[in-house]
Each structure stands twice: as C-alpha cells, then as structure tokens.
Amino acid sequence: MKRIGVFVCHCGLNIAGSVAVARVVEAIKDYPGVVHAENYIYMCSDPGQDLVRKAIREKSLNGIVMANCSPFLHERTFRNVVASEGLNPYFCEIANIREHCSWPHAYDKEVATKKAIAIIKATVEKVRRNISLTPMVVPLTKRALVIGGGVAGMQAALDIANGGYEVLLVERSPTIGGHATQLSGTFPTLDRPPCLVAPKMAEVANHPNIKLYTYAEIEEVSGYVGNFTVKIKRKPSYIEDEKCDLCGLCLENCPATFPAEFDRGLSQRKALYLSPQAVPQKLVIDPRSCLHFNGDQCRACEEVCPAKAIDFLQQETIVEKKVGAIIVATGYDLFPRERIGEYAEDPDVIDGLQFERILSPSGPTGGEVRRPSDGKVPQEVVFIQCVGSRDPEHGVPYCSRVCCMYTAKQAVLYKRTVPQGQAYIFYMDIRSDAKGYEEFVQRAMEEDQVLYLRGRVSKVFRDGDKIKVWGVDTLSGKSIEISADLVILATAMVPSPGAKELARKLNIIFDQYGFLTEAHPKLRPVETLTSGIYLAGTAQWPRDLPDTVSSASGSASKILSLFSRKELLHEPTIASVDEEVCSGCGYCVSICAYRAIEIDTKRRVARVNEAVCEGCGACAATCPSGAMQHKNFTARQFFEMIDVATGAYV
Amino acid sequence: MADNEFEPNIVGFLCNWCTYTAADLAGTTRMQYPTNLRPIRTMCSGSVDPVYVIRALLSGADGVLVGGCHPGDCHYVSGNYKARRRITILKTILNTLGLEDERVWLRWISAAEGRKFADTVSKFTEELRKQGPNPVKKYWST
C-alpha cells in the first residue's frame, strides 16, 4: 500500500495567485492513499525540500506528488530529494499545476482551483501504481560531434579536445572559420578578425584530438545520449587531396567564374577554388559553376595538373562514426533583402556582410572603401538598421541584436578610411547593452561625427549617379532626403539554410523562425530536450562574438562533465513483457522503431533489449493481450487517471 | 459560469516532447484558454492505446484530445504515424459503439506552438459546448 504525500507549492503568487492552495490541500488530504498534504510558498527552496524530507521520515511516505511547475523544471530536483531519503526516485511524480493551470487560467480562481485538484488527483493515481525502478547502466562513447565550423563550433571543439576527448568537427563548406572570417573588425575593440579567428582555425586544424570533416554534411543520426551513430556525407571535391600539392596551375587555367561566396558576390572566383585563408588548404571544384559538369567538354584543370590530382568521377562517401554527444552550431544567414521591395536592388545598395568585405583589408577592394557599381569612393553613406528585423510584416518580429553595434562599427571604420565622408545611420532604437558598447556608440557620434537619425526609411532608389534615400527623422519631425553614394542595409539574422532539416534528423526542436530551441530558456539554455545534444552560437538565436563563444564553451563544458562519468544511466521507464501472458505474436517487434524487441524463438515470447528501448510505449499500445507494459505508464495507471479526469467537470 | 450551463469535460493525452511542452509554453507566455481540458502526460502519441480513448468516452468525457509532434518530427521516429493510423481506424468504429467520432481530435502541436495549443483547446471546448454532452451519459441514469 502506498502512503502518499502531496506537496502543493505556491510558487510565490505564480500558483497561489490563481489557485486557492489551502483549499487544494483541504480537498486532497482525505483522498484515498493520501496520508499527508501541505502547502508551502516555495517547495523548490531549501526549506521547502526539507519539508518533503521531514514528511517522508515522519509519516513513512513512499509515494510523493509534487504539485508545482512543469516536470521539465523540477522533476529531477524532487526525485533527488526523494532519493536522499532512501526512497526510490520513481515514486515521485509532478502534478503540473503552474504551466498547465494557474498561468493559463489566471482570472477564474474557482475553476482553476478545481482543475488543479483534478490534476493532482490524477497524479496521485499514477504514483499509487508506480513501481520502483533503477536506471540501467549503458556504455558511453567519449567522442563528440560538433556540427558547424564557425566560431561557435571551433570554440566548442577546442574546449572538448583540450579536455582530452576526441572531437569530430563537420563543416559543410570547404573551410572552417564561418562568417567571422568575413568581418572587417569587431566592436567595440576594432580588432581585425583574422588576428582573432585565424589562430583558432589553425589550432583546430592541428589539434591531435580534432578530426576535421570539411565539405561534409550530416546524413543520418540514430541512437541516444552516449551512443549516437552518425553518418557523415563527404561531398566530392573532385580533387585527390593526397596528390594535390597546391601548385595553383589549375586555378590559373580554369575558365569558369562564379560570384565568390566569401566576398558575398562582390568578386568572382573560379569554378575550381580555394577560399582565402581556407583551413584546411584544399581545393574544390564546384559542380554548379564548373563547365565540365554543365554539359561542356572542358578538362582544362585536368590537362594542366602535373600531379594528376583531378578526378571528375569522384563520388560522395559516407563515413559512419559513433559519438556520445553532439553540439549543433550551424550559425546564421542574412534575411533576403529582396523581400523588402521598397529598397531597390542596386549594386550600390548592399547588406552588412558585403560592406564588411569592402572594409576588410583582404576584401575585393583591398580595404579601400569603393562602391561596387563604379569603384568610386563614396562620400555620402547611409546605413539603415532593422531591415527585416523588428518587422512582423516580413516575418521577423525579433531584434537581431548585433546590427546596432556592427552598424556603428562600420560607420566608424568608414569614417577612419574616408575622413571627409559623411555617414548617416537611420535607427529605431540603439541597443548597446554589453561591456563597452554604449561608450562605443557615443564615441561614433561624438568623435567620428556619425549622424544618427531616429526614424525609418520609406524608399531607396537609383537617381542617376546617386542613390536617393527617403526617410524621416522622428525627433525633429522632418522628412529627410539624402542623395547617397552607397546604402548599407543591416538585414536581420536568420537561421542558416538547412538548419530545420538537420534539426529533424537530430530530433531536436526549432521555433517558428527556425532557430533551435533550448531545453529551458532560463535554466537549461545550452541543452536541447534530446539529451546528449547541445546548442552553440547563432543557430539558437542572434548573438555577437562574445555571446557565441560563451554559449559554445557552455555546451562544451556540459559534454566534458558528461564524459567525465564512467558510464551513463538510461531511463528505466521502458517496456517490459509479462511472459505468462505473451503469445509471441510479434506485433510489438514490427512496431518498435528501435528494433529493441525480438521474439525468443524457443519460448515464443517477446524479449525487450533494455539498453536499446527508448521507452516510447508504442509496443504496449499495440500489444493485443496486454502482456507488453510500459513501466510506470501502464494501462491500469492510465485508466485510473482517465477516471479522475472524467470525474464531473465542475 | 451559470450552474445550468453545459461545460464539456475534455481528456487530453499530450505527448511529452511536443504537445505537453506546447502546453507548458502556453502557460509560460500566459495565454488564456478554457479550463475544460484535463491533461494527461504520455511519452508519445504512439503510446496512446485506442482503449484509453474509448475508456475516456465511456467514463463520460465529452471530448478527447490526442496531441503529438508534427509528421516527421516525432521524438520516437514514427510514434505519431502510429497514432494517426490508430485514431483513424478508431474513428471508423466509434459510431457503431454509439460514441460520436467528432468528439475525438488528433492534433499535431509542436513544442513551439503554445498559441496553437491554446487555440485548439479553446476551439474544441467551443465545438463541444455546441454539440452538448456525450450521449453515453444518458445510459448512466437507466
């Protein structure tokens, strides 16, 4: 017989504000099986936890119902409390009366209280029949997979590798480094990114614990924490790396050109190319732009290659690896500016990353500020912030967080290159909320004479040699027209293309914009709901470099603590067979998505491989005889919960 | 609410990874929806035995909501497809049992869709108010 204790949390006023907690305790204290019920202002606090411990001791409780917030927050907390008193942690269940009751029913205390009581009663019914379970020990592969080789991925890989564990770093482009390598400088220190990022790239490439897979993508992921199996697809580069000695003859002779991704289309590259500062230094042939792959007989590179390294017949290869944990650091892209019809598509209306390239000493203009259309040094430059961001009409209601600062930085760098030029910045609000940021913006205004105009721009269009910008200054109330030489749009950060498809392969969640979702926004910001998979950098949300590096290190430290264990514990709420009842029909075998069940041919009964069973419960729902049961989610438990739930509504 | 007004009772089987979490999100963002739903956490929509749905209806639930991850997004690979097949088949036999199949809703609500969860509960409650009480209850008095 279970002796059940019910503990109702006020959560300050979060629960007590709309649920009459004292009445809940009154209603539940005489419910069958309940021998103890009390309420307290914060059950998760130390004194709250002590109340639970004390009641377990004094009333010999062996079933605990914690009526408080979602199990995603404190199930683990309270199961640990219960375990500290020597009880099996699976005798504790959460009745979620905050997220599912007090919060969404904030204005009708009467019905919210009744619903809270019903939720608690149903949970009592579940606890009554919960059995004691012990997590199973499963092996742990101490090797990590990092997806994405930008700053976030590199930082995470280095942290884990420096901790002594092997890391596979998969990057889909031919080089690691990510967008940071395109930047002209950082705010507020104006460091040149090559000085920041290049050493990291080299460190990653040379680290004995890091195995780089560039020009590769994730094909398939299966398994679970500690025991994932990943298939990495290596795209064909059409060049045999071991033969190529980077003599460069092929580069000189390749006749096909393509807008260079690294310069965001402001320069051309060959179909066969090596990105500037590429790590590793490996050439690739891009089949989209190569004449050979587009119906032509061209073999120019093959003909000149002295090492015979060109292989047009190269195929993609699949590498299969076991890993214990995964970090997703797939980064960002920019909002497609074509979607803002009011801003003309014009060579001199460019996005922020394009201007980074123009400002960069390694960029298409060699660091001289020259506009794309005619190479003229622009004397009047207009920056427009929040293009796409904070704009629900274009599907991006969020703030991209980095644009205020990079626009200020770009304006300052522009002024320092073209001191007699004028920089205008149209802004909505200036968000400069980190160390040294506000001071930087003030310096841009005062020392560098950047003119900030608070208002939106309604139209940008070509007018002869100039770009006309129509806007408004809401502080003076005047409409403004500027004849600019160059217009820079601070377009919103959006998730990298393909992030959603990858999230599906990994079974992790993304939000309505496609950013990957953390397990909890406050308390578990680097984990996902799928254990063993973590997030880093801008794949999760717009971030600047320091925030990206912190989140990457945060994820890496989670993996380091995971790998510091000897072995892993596997949730024991899995399927089990009552061999007395099982007829060996095999329905469960065919429905199991994990191939965790097999039929013992000799005894004609189903057998569950406990290390492989993920505990979804599909087999139990299929079993025609009821022999297959989902531990602590049994049909009997559901029936009792259903009966409570359908008890008269009012 | 007046005493004589009919308020439907809804049993909700919410999958742990999507719809249960969506309900959490609806709460966290303080979206308000009717109190008629009684949430029951299941690990997967694919673990909802059709018998549970029948049990709920026979016990007098005016509606049953089964909430799972969107097709292709199941945390357990394919549990939601199993749910889809089972609920479809179940609906074909409910009417012959004297139970009304429109009282059973299967909905895909992802963890990010707090709004969809709140809207679904509101809409289901409204529909059931129009439909009136589950007819099985009339047998109880005989």
Query: Which residues in B lie closer than 8 A to residue A105 (C-beta atoms)?
Result: 32-33, 35
- Assigned token pair, A368: 């001289």
Q: How far is CA A577 from CA A138, A374, A580, A605, B6, in A?
A: 21, 76, 9, 8, 43
Cα Rg of chain B, angstroms: 15
Judge whether B5 is closer than 8 Å to chain A, CB to CB. Answer: no
- Burial of A264 per CB tally in 10 Å (0-12, 13-18, 19+): buried
Task: Return the residue of B nearest to A641 by Cα.
Answer: B40
Distance in angstroms (rounded) separating the CA atoms of residues A153 and A218: 15
Residues of chain A with confidence (pLDDT) below 70: 648-650
Query: Which residues in A lie closer than 8 A to residue B17 (C-beta atoms)?
Result: 509, 529
Distance in angstroms (rounded) separating the CA atoms of residues A638 and B56: 10
Q: Are A240 and A335 in contact (CB under 8 A)?
A: no
The pairing of strands A628-630 and A575-577 is antiparallel
Residue-by-residue DSSP string for A401-463:
SSHHHHHHHHHHHHHHHSTTSEEEEEES-----STTHHHHHHHHHHTS--EEEES-EEEEEEE
Distance in angstroms (rounded) separating the CA atoms of residues A456 and A369: 25
The string of pLDDT tens digits covering residues A542-562 is 999 999 999 999 999 999 999
Q: Is the peptide bond before B8 cis (omega within 30 degrees of 0)?
A: no
Query: Which residues in B lie closer than 8 A to residue A573 (C-beta atoms)?
Result: 43
Check residue B9 and give left, alpha or beta (phi > 0: left; psi -120 to 50: alpha): beta
Question: Which residue has 């290596």 as its token pair?
Answer: A234
Note the pLDDT of residue A322: 97
Q: Are A142 and A99 in contact (CB under 8 A)?
A: no
Q: What are phi and psi of B85, to 5 degrees?
A: -65, -45
Query: Which residues in A lie closer than 8 A to residue B117 (C-beta atoms)?
Result: none
Chains A, B: CB contacts within 8 A come to 154
- Assigned token pair, B90: 């179940």
**Between A105, A112, A591, which is nearest B82 by CB?**
A591
Note the pLDDT of residue A650: 37
Note the pLDDT of residue A522: 82
List, as own/partner pairs, every contact residues A470-475 make where C-beta atoms lie below 8 angstroms and the sequence separation is at least 24, other chains included: A471/A426
Residues listed for chain A: 650
Task: Return the residue of B nearest to A115 by Cα.
Answer: B35
In CATH, the number for domain B10-134 is 3.40.50
A593-623 burial: b if 16+ Cβ within 10 Å, else e: bbebbebeeeeebbbbeeebbbbbbbbbbbb
- Burial of A499 per CB tally in 10 Å (0-12, 13-18, 19+): buried
Residue-by-residue DSSP string for A158-178:
HHHHHTT-EEEEEESSSSS-G
Q: Which of A594, A398, A578 is nearest to A492 (CA)?
A: A398
Q: What are phi and psi of A557, to 5 degrees?
A: -70, -30
**Between B40, B44, B75, which is nearest A122 by CB?**
B40
Angle A632-A638-A640 from CA coordinates, rounded to 5°: 110
Number of H helices, E strands in chain A: 16, 32
How many CB atoms are located within 10 Å of the residue B138 CB?
Answer: 9
Q: Is the pLDDT of residue B11 over 50?
A: yes
Residue A439, Cα to own-chain centre: how many angstroms? 31
Distance in angstroms (rounded) separating the CA atoms of residues B107 and B80: 10
- SS3 string, A90-113, reads HHEEEEECHHHHHCCCCCCHHHHH
The answer to whether the predicted template modeling score (pTM) of the entire model surpasses 0.95 is no
A517–B111 C-beta distance less than 8 A: yes
Q: Are A264 and A364 in contact (CB under 8 A)?
A: no
Distance in angstroms (rounded) separating the CA atoms of residues A592 and A587: 9
Judge whether B49 is closer than 8 Å to chain A, CB to CB. Answer: yes
The string of pLDDT tens digits covering residues B88-129 is 999 999 988 888 899 999 999 999 899 999 999 999 999 999
Q: Are A574 and A215 in contact (CB under 8 A)?
A: no
- Assigned token pair, B106: 């299967």
**Between A507, A618, A643, which is nearest B59 by CB?**
A643
Check residue A303 and give left, alpha or beta (phi > 0: left; psi -120 to 50: alpha): alpha
Note the pLDDT of residue A176: 97
How many CB atoms are located within 10 Å of the residue A308 CB?
Answer: 10
Task: Return the residue of A nearest to B23 by Cα.
Answer: A100
Q: What are phi and psi of A168, to 5 degrees?
A: -105, 120
Beta strands in A360-409, from DSSP E residues, in sequence order: 380-387
CB contact set of A108 (below 8 Å; sequence gap of 6+): A18, B35
Mutate to test the interface with B, among A19, A75, A99 (most CBs of B within 10 A): A99
Judge whether B67 is closer than 8 Å to chain A, CB to CB. Answer: no
Query: Which residues in A lie closer than 8 A to residue B86 (C-beta atoms)?
Result: 621
The string of pLDDT tens digits covering residues A162-193 is 999 999 999 999 999 999 999 999 999 998 87
Query: Which residues in B lie closer than 8 A to residue A70 (C-beta atoms)?
Result: 24, 27
Cα Rg of chain A, angstroms: 30
Query: Which residues in B lie closer than 8 A to residue A106 (C-beta atoms)?
Result: 30, 32
User: Across chain A, which distance is largest between two alpha carbons, in Å?
Assistant: 90
List, as own/partner pairs, every contact residues A461-470 make where C-beta atoms lie below 8 angstroms and the sequence separation is at least 24, other chains included: A461/A344, A461/A346, A462/A344, A462/A346, A462/A348, A467/A344, A467/A346, A467/A348, A467/A349, A467/A382, A469/A382, A469/A384, A469/A424, A469/A426
Note the pLDDT of residue B5: 80
Judge whether B8 is closer than 8 Å to chain A, CB to CB. Answer: yes
Check residue B134 and give left, alpha or beta (phi > 0: left; psi -120 to 50: alpha): beta
Note the pLDDT of residue B1: 45
Task: Return the residue of A nearest to B36 by Cα.
Answer: A649
**Between B59, B78, B86, which is nearest A642 by CB?**
B59
Tell me the nearest-neighbour CA distance from A103 into chain B, angstroms: 5
Please, what are the domains in chain A? 4-133 (3.40.50), 143-235+316-331+496-563 (3.50.50.60), 249-304 (no CATH), 333-494 (3.50.50.60), 571-631 (3.30.70.20)
Tell me the nearest-neighbour CA distance from B71 into chain A, angstroms: 10
Domain ranges of chain B: 10-134
Distance in angstroms (rounded) separating the CA atoms of residues A77 and A9: 14
Q: Are A253 and A299 in contact (CB under 8 A)?
A: no
* DSSP helix/strand/coil, A380: strand
> Could you tell me if the ipTM is greater than 0.90?
yes
Tell me the nearest-neighbour CA distance from B99 into chain A, angstroms: 16
Going by the DSSP 8-state scheme, the letter that residue B66 receives in this structure is E
Query: Which residues in B lie closer than 8 A to residue A512 (C-beta atoms)?
Result: 112-113
How many CB atoms are located within 10 Å of the residue A458 CB?
Answer: 12
**Between B9, B35, B75, which is nearest A112 by CB?**
B35
Angle A138-A139-A145 from CA coordinates, rounded to 5°: 120
- Burial of A447 per CB tally in 10 Å (0-12, 13-18, 19+): exposed
Task: Return the residue of B nearest to A502 by Cα.
Answer: B73
Q: How far is CA B98 from CA A290, B3, B61, in A?
A: 67, 28, 14
Q: Which of residues 70-129 of B touch A (CB under 8 A)?
A: 72-79, 82, 86, 110-113, 118
B78–A114 C-beta distance less than 8 A: no
Note the pLDDT of residue A252: 93
Mutate to test the interface with B, among A511, A540, A638 (most CBs of B within 10 A): A638
Mutate to test the interface with B, among A502, A616, A640 (most CBs of B within 10 A): A616
The pairing of strands A272-273 and A284-285 is antiparallel
Query: Which residues in B lie closer than 8 A to residue A644 (C-beta atoms)?
Result: 38
Note the pLDDT of residue B75: 86
B61–A645 C-beta distance less than 8 A: yes
Using the Cα atoms of residue A207, residue A211, residue A215 and residue A219 in order, give the sign of their dihedral: negative
Amino acid at A72: F
